[in-house]
Amino acid sequence: MKYLPLIFLLFFALSNNIMAQSSNEKKSQNELNYLIQLDDNTLLKGEINKLTTDSIYLKLEFLGDISLSRKSNFIVEIEGGSTFRGELLEISNDSLLFDMTEFTVVWVKNIDIVKLTVLKWQDIGTEGYSIANQHKTRYLFSPSSYSLGMGNGYYQNIYGVFNAVNYGVSENISIGFGADFLSLLNEGTPSAFITPKISKKYNDNTYLGGGLLIGSLGIFDPTNPFIVLGYGVVTRGTENRNLTLAIGHSYGNKSLTSHVITLNAYSRISNRYGFVSENWLMKETAILAYGLRKFDKRISTDFGIAYISVKMSDTFDDSYRVAFPFPYLGWVINW
């Protein structure tokens, strides 16, 4: 009996140690689990436990193992109430790596995540692409019938010389301003313009629009550079595969007054690349341009080649035309 107190103390110590280990394991498991809200608003606790080239695998309470498209994005809520939107890039034993923007990636520990809200790829891009077509309102220069949307905008630069800014005043109205940098440095009238546009969705695959281009082409005709171009435009298709026809008339001096027809096309060929074609037909000039558009998260780059056919005579004989190619290079930064 003299060993009874010692046995009792040993039993008590072992019991406490086992309970402490169980509590720590339970706490560790709870730290790994966070709230996950699926696209159908189902809200469960779980964790992300595997990534493959095409899928994100989650382990959820009650539902068990489920998979999402790798193109899904997340709204991430962390301790303290901060949130951000990001693409899941990697997972480790205790952390997740998110791409918040084109330039910023961040590791977030599982214990710091309060909630993940799943965003299907349709909310980020369209037709299966994880990067949206940020520059859907314009081809190389000619507009489509898509609307920028209220508060959205972009800065466009061509050759590092030509600059333009467009802004969505409302859901269906936008306005743009542009200027040629070199002509601003020279004496005389610079090349500058203003471009109001109105756009409206007609049905699921048809969009209508119209607008004006008012300004000057001082770099091309310093003697009488002012021009007004009015146009109507119709776009048929989706944001990633579409065809646009625009018909208008320009008014200026003799060389600037002309009927104007543009026929443009765009086709997405991969997650980061699309094919662009822009074609202008005027009284004395035709421009045929073809190129590729490379997408990043907020920046798109256009590079290609344009062929200009110029009529060198007032006669109707097309043998007096001269055609020459020149490269095209431009950038668009969206906000």
Reference 134, options 288, 331, 304; nearest CA is 331
Q: What percent of the chain has pLDDT over 70?
A: 78
Res. 93 pLDDT band, cuts 50 70 90: confident
Distance CA 327, CA 12 (A): 83
- Return the structure tokens found at 23: 């509590």
CATH class of 34-123: mainly beta
Segment 171-178 mean pLDDT: 93
Q: Could you tell me which CATH number the domain at 153-334 has? A: 2.40.160.40
Res. 9 pLDDT band, cuts 50 70 90: very low
Distance CA 333, CA 331 (A): 7
Q: Which pLDDT does position 152 carry in this prediction?
A: 87
More confident residue, 155 or 322: 155
Q: Which residue has the tokens 């007004």?
A: 228
Res. 145 pLDDT band, cuts 50 70 90: very high
Task: Report pLDDT digits (tens) over 208-224.
Answer: 999 999 988 765 566 66
The predicted model scores a pTM of 0.63
Res. 6 pLDDT band, cuts 50 70 90: very low
Cα 289–Cα 293–Cα 294 angle in degrees, nearest 5: 155
Please provide the average confidence, as pLDDT, over all residues in the chain: 81
More confident residue, 13 or 148: 148
Ranges 32-36, 230-234, 236-240, 284-288, most confident: 230-234
Residue 169 has pLDDT above 80, yes or no: yes
Give the per-residue SS3 of the chain: CCCHHHHHHHHHHHHHHHHHHHHHHHHHHHHHCEEEECCCCCEEEEEEEEECCCEEEEEECCCEEEEEECCCEEEEEECCCCEEEEEEEEECCCEEEEECCCCCEEEEEHHHEEEEEEECHHHCCCCCCCCCCCCCCECCCCECCCCCCCCCEEEEEECCCEEEEEEECCCCEEEEEEEEHHHHHCCCCCEEEEEEEEEEEEECCEEEEEEEEEEEECCCCCCCCEEEEEEEEEEEEECCEEEEEEEEEEECCCCCCEEEEEEEEEEECCCCEEEEEEEEECCCEEEEEEEEEEECCCEEEEEEEEEEEEECCCCCCHHHEEEEEEEEEEEEEEC
Residues whose CB is less than 8 angstroms from the CB of residue 94 and which lie 6 or more positions away in sequence, other chains included: 32, 109, 110, 111
pLDDT-wise least confident of 89-98, 124-133, 140-149, 211-220: 124-133
